[in-house]
Structure 1
C-alpha cells in the first residue's frame, strides 16, 4: 500500500544532445515557465520619466504552440515556428512590479499546449533607455534553494528607488519561503498562496544583498517537493563610473545547477567584472592566478578585467559577469556604446550542443554579439545558422589552450548554434547607454532521471530507436528498497536490481537497470512510470515515490557515402557521407568508419591513406549522438599497385661540386615508373631519372624523391639527407721578385670558419720548365730564372675532403733598374711649401715594385725612408714638407731615391736641393669694434722670422693705406688677410676675423619746453642690446642712469645722453631744455619815436615761439595780430599812428597755459 505518493514529471527532450554516462533529462527547454517584470528606475528628469516594457521570446527546434498569461491578460494560442524566435509583448500594467508592491500575483506564465514539443523562453526588458534580459528556466529545472546575485549600489539617480532586489515566484500553491539575509542572522518568512504570486524583497537602504539565501521552509507542508523561481538584480546601477546606469535582471539557477569550472569570455572590446558566490564553507576558488577561500554565502568581486580567464573551485560556486558603465567600459581607448549588465554563467559541466536564441534590437541596441566557449578539439565543428566561422576567428584560452573562444557579431534576430561537442554561450547587445546579456542555453542538474540504453549501440539516451532493442535505467539520488516499472499503462513489473553507485562524495547517485529489452517499431511518444520505494526520512522522502517519464522513438538513419573505388596507395582519399537522420531539423552528427585496413574514424567526412594495395571493404554507419545509429553499409574498393620509391647518393658532398643521384624505385606487379620529381631541399628540382646537382650553400639538406607509376599513382615522398660541407678559402700573398730572388709565396688560406685546422696544400708555380714546379708545403718557395708573367695556383683541401683552387697572375721582374725622379719647381723651393716628387724609374723587364725616398740623406744617412711605396708607377706624385725653419737662412738637403724590381734587384738616385726660408706670419686676435669706431690701424699682424720683405693687409673695409674702416666694412664678422712677401720670393699669409658691432640708436627731441617750477619726463627711445644710459650734467634730473628721467623746470640747460650697448658701443645726443616763465606785458608804452619805449615790450614772450598776440580797440576792432612776437607792436594800424588811449590785448601761449589778457595804454 502506498503511504503517500509523490509524482515527479520529467520529460525527455529531443532538442538537446547528451553524452553516454552523464546524460540528463533537464535543460533550459521545457513546457512550463514563469518570468517576472521587476521594479526598475526610469530614465529622464524633471518628472518627465521614461519607463521600460517587457517581451518574452519563445523558440523551438520543432513547430510548437504556447500560451502566455499574466495577471488576467492572455495572449491566446501562439504558433512557434521551428528555428524562429517569436516575441510576445506583455502589457506593462499587468506585469510590472511597482516599487510599493511586495506581494502581488503578476508572474508571467508561458505554457506549451499539451502534445506539442518543448520550447525555450527568454525575457527582455527594453525601452525608456533601460535594457536587460534573462534566460527563463522551465519548471523541471527549478529548485528549492537559491542565492541572490546583485551588485553594489552607488549614488542616487533621483528617478527611483536605486536598490538591489530579489523576486520570488510561487509555481505551486501554499509555498512558504525563508529569506536569510546576508551577513546577518535575520530572516524573512514569505507565504505565497497561489501559483504566480510574487514577493519582491528589497533592503531598507542601498545594501548589496549578494549572498542572501532563500529556501523552501523545511517545516512547511510539501516542503520536499515544492519548487519556486527566483530572480535578482538591481533597479538600476552604475559600475566603474557614475555617468549612466541600467537595471540588472537575471533568473537565478538553483544551487543544484551550480558548477566547479567556468570559462569566462570578455564582452567584445569591453572591460568586465566577475562575482563568485560559494554555497559551502571553506570553498577554495582558483581565479586569475590566486586562490580564494569563501564560506557559505560569501562572495568575491574582481577588479576590472579585459582578458579571458577561468574560475575553478573544489566545491560548487555561482559566477556572474558584469559589463561596465558606458563612459568607462571600453578596453580599446575609445568610448563605445553600452551600460551595466549582469549575466549568470553556466559551468563547463552543464554545456549544450544545440540552441536557438534571439538577439533583440529593442529598443536602441546597435551592436549584438554571441560569445562561445568550447573545447579546442571541437571548435571547427561549431556552426551558426549552418555556417562555420572562419578558423582564424577562434582564440585559445590564455591559461588552457585545450579550450577556445570566439566573439561573433550578430545580424539576424534568430540564430541556431550547433556543435558536435558541448559548448557554453551568452548573447548580448549594446546601444547608447543600453545593454542586455543572457545565457544562450544550458543543461541543468537533475537528481533523478531516466535513460534508455540502446543494446545495439551501447549508448544511453533520453529516447529509443526504431527497431533496435533498448533497456531502461533510472538514476536516483538515493538507494531504493524496491522499484516497479510500468510502460504505457501496461503491466506493473517489479524489478529491483543491485544499483550501480556513482557520483562523488556528498553527491552520490544510484543507477538501476531494467534489463528486459524492448523494441519499438513506431515513431511515437511513450510513457514510463517508475515507482521507487524508499526508507523513511531519506532525502525528505518516504514510502513510494512515483516518477513519470515521457520519451520518443526516433527513426533509424539511412547511411550513405561516396569514395573513389580505385584509389592510389599512399594518397589521401576523401570519404564524403550523405546520410539522412530521418528526424526533421536534426541532421546526422555521429559517424563510424572502418576502412578495412585496421584503421577507423568518427569524423563526418574523413580523409584516409591506404598504405597497402589490394581489395578493401569499407564499413560505414551514421546516426545521432543521442543514440540512434544506422545499420552498417559496406563498399568494396581496389587500391592500385604500391610504389616503393628510393635512390642512392653519397653521404656527404661539397659546395659547388657535382653530386650524382641514382634512382632505385620499384612498383608492385612490375608496373613501370614513368616520371620522377626530385626536390634537393635548396629550392632546386629535377625531373631526370638520375640527376647531377650542385649545392651552392653548405648544410644538411633533405633530398626528396617522388615518382609516378604507369597506372597514374604517385608515391609517398622518399627523403634522404646529405651533408654539404663548406669549401676552404685558399689565398696567398705575392712576393716582390726579380730573377735574382727566391720567390716566397705566403699562404693565407683558411677554413670557412676562419681556422686553419686540417688544411693541406698543393702549389703549382706555372714554371713547367723548372725542376721544382710544384710543392705541398704551407708556403710556396720557387726560383724563377727567366723574367716574365707566370700563373701561380694554390689548391687547399679541408678535413671534409672539399678543395678549392686560387690562381693569381705573377710577374718576375728583370734585374737592371734605372732609377730617376723629378722635383717640381726645384730652383725656387720655399720652406712653407710641400716638395712635389715624381718617379721616372724603369727596369729592363717587368715593373718597379718598390720606391723609397730619403729626404735628408746628407744629414741623416741611417734614417728610415720618409716616403715608401710598394705599388709604384710613374704617374704617382709624392709630397713632402720639411720642418719649419728657425732662422732666415737658406738650407741645403740631399734627396736619395731607391728603386726596386725585387728583393735583390735595386738601384738609387741622389739630388741636392736648396730650400729658402719662408716668412713666419703671426696674426693674433683682433678685438671687436663698433661701427662708429673710426679708422683703425690693425697692429695684430706681423712677421717674426726676420725675413726681409713687406706685409700687406687686405679684406673688407681695408683702405689703400692698410687701415681698417668699420663703417665701410659694415656690421658683422669679416675676414682680414695679412700677406708677407719676402725679397727671396717666398711668402706667407694668415687670416683673422674682426667683428663690427652695431651702435645703439636714439630718438630724442633736440628741445624740451618745461613750465618753470614744473617737471617733465624725457620722451626718448633707444634700441640695441644690453643698453646702459648716462645723462650729463645730472643736475635737475630724477636719475642720470635711465633712458627717461624726469627733468625739473628750474632753468634753461643743455643735456647730453650717452647710450652704451653690452658690446661696448655707444652714441650720444644733446637736448636743450627751455624753461617757460609767465609772460609779463607792460601796461603802457609811448611810440613817439624818441627811441625809448617805442614798442610794446612783453617780458619772457620769446620762450613761447608759437604764441599768438591780439590787440583790440575799445570798439572791439582787432588792430594787431601776430603768430610769434618777432615784430613787436609799434602803436600803428594800417601804417597810421593810433590815437592815445586804452586798448585791450589777448596773449595765447599755446602750450597749455591760459590766455593772458589786460589793458594797454598808448601814451604819446
Structure 2
C-alpha cells in the first residue's frame, strides 16, 4: 500500500513540473493593430496614429501611405494632398513578427481654392456690380457660397449682383463650402471703390435789353461733385463749349434748348437739359375767349403765345390773378371784365388784353304736391318756380319728358323717380335742378308671416313676425288669430289654449290709406297630449313571420305615426305589418302626434326573432378551373342546409364546391333550417368559361 502511494506522489509531482515549464516558455501571440484620431478631413490634416497591437511588440515600422516611413510607436503625419491612403504597420518582438494593412484607411478631401472677379471695381454710387465666382473646386462640388460686401449686406448666390449705394472703399469676402464640408475664404481688400454722385446745374443771364439778334447770354455753372470736373455745353444752335462759365452769342432769332453734361475723372456724369430757355426774335402774347359767358360758369383760358412762354401773369379784371400757363376763372357777378396776359420770354415781354361780358343765368326751381302713393295711376301737377327762364325741359325719370312751363304728368308704374328741370334763358345761359326720389309709388304688401313654432301641445305660445315690402313707420296692424282673439301689435305673441288647426289673418294700413291683407290657412296646429301605446301579434317568430303591430294610443285625435322596429326598418302607417331582417331581441318604438303634440312609447326586448338567417358568399372564375365555384355559408343559427345551384343540381353541405357544366348566369338559392324556422337567400352567380386567344399574323414589321 505504501509503495503504491509513493508511485502516485511521483506522478503528480512530474505533472506539476511539466505545467510550470510550459507556462514559463509560452508568450502571448503577437497581433498587429492600430487606430487614428482622424480618418477623414479637409487638407491639410494632421493625423495621430496609435499602436493597438497585442503581444508586447518591441519595434514598429509604419508605411503611412504618402511616402512617409516611421519607426515610432505612435507617429503623427500631415496629409496635404487630397486622396485615399492605405496604412501598413509591421510589429516585432524577440520571438515573432506580425503586420496589418488597412486599405483606404485615411481619406483626405481637397479644400476649394477661392477666387472671384467683378465686371467693375470703381465708379459713382449707386454702383451696380456683377460678381463672378471663379473658385477651383479641386474635384469636389460646392454646396454653399457666402459673400460679404462690407456694407451690411451679404448674399448666398454663386454669382450675385449688388448695388453699392454709399461712397467708400469696400473689402469683399467670399466663403465657399464643398459637399464634404471643406471651406475656404478669400478676402480682397478695397476691391470696390465708389465716388459721390455729380449734381449738374446752371443758370443764365441775357445781357441785351431787347429781343432781337444778336444777343449774348452769360451761363453760370452751379454743378457740384468730387474729383476733376469737366463740362460739355450745347447751346441749341449748333455751338458747343467746354468752358465752366461760357458766354455765348446767339446770332439768329429762335427758341433754344441748352444742355450741360458734367463728368469727372471717376467716370461719373450728369446731364441737365433746359428746354426753350433762350428766346430771341419776335415774341407775341396770345389767347382767345368768347364774347360772353354765363355767371357762375367756369372759363378755361389757353395761352397760345409764340414762342412758348417761360413764365406768365394773368389778371382777370375782378382782382384775381394767376401765374398758371392755362388757368381757369369763374365770374360770380354780371358785368364786363378785361382779361390781361403778360408773357415773359427770357429778357423779352409781351402782353395782350381781351374783354368778356358776363351775363346773368336763370335760376331753376319747382314744387309739387302728392308725391307719395300706393295705387296707380298717380297724377302730379308740377309748378315751375324758376326765374329768368325762356324755355323749359322736364324729365320725369320714367322715360317721359315735357317742355311745358307747368306740366301735369301721370305716373302709371310703381317705382321711385328722380325729376329734373332744365331752364334756358334767351342769352343761352341755363340752370338745372334735380330732386332725387321725389315721386314714390310703392304698394304696401305683406310678403310673409313667420310663426315660431307652428305646432305643439296645449297651451302653445306662438311668436308671429310679418315681413313687409316697406319700412313705413305709419303702418297699423290688425291680427286675427283664428280663435276669436285679436291684436294690434306688430310682432305679437299669442297663447292657444284649445286643440285645433287655426287660420291666421293679418291686415295692414298706412297713413296714406294704403292697405294689404294676408290669410295663412292651417297656420298653427295645436293638439292635446296623446298617450302612446301599442301591441304586436305574434311577439316571437321566424325571420319570415309577419308581425302585426296595432296602435292603441289614447287621449287625443292622432294624425301621425312613426314606428322604429329595432332592425333598421320603420313605418308611418297606423297599424303596420312587417318582417324582421335579423334574429334576436328587438326594441320597438312608436311616436304619435296630435296636431304636432307628440308622445313616445318604447318597449324593450319586445319582439323575439328565432334563427336562422340565410346568407352566403362565393368565389367564382378561378383562372385554372373557370367552371368551379366555391360557396361559403355565412348564415346565422343554421342547423341544416339546402343549396340549389340553378343548373338542376343541389347540395346539403354547409360549404359546397360546385362545378358547372358550362359558363352562364345562374340563380343560386340557399335555404337554411333551425327547428320550425327556415330562411332563404338568392344570389346571382356568373360563370365565365371563355379563354384568352392569341392570334399571330404573318405581317412583316420593319425595324425603326
TM-score, with normalisation over the residues of structure 2? 0.40
Higher strand share: 2
* TM-score for both structures, normalised by structure 1: 0.27
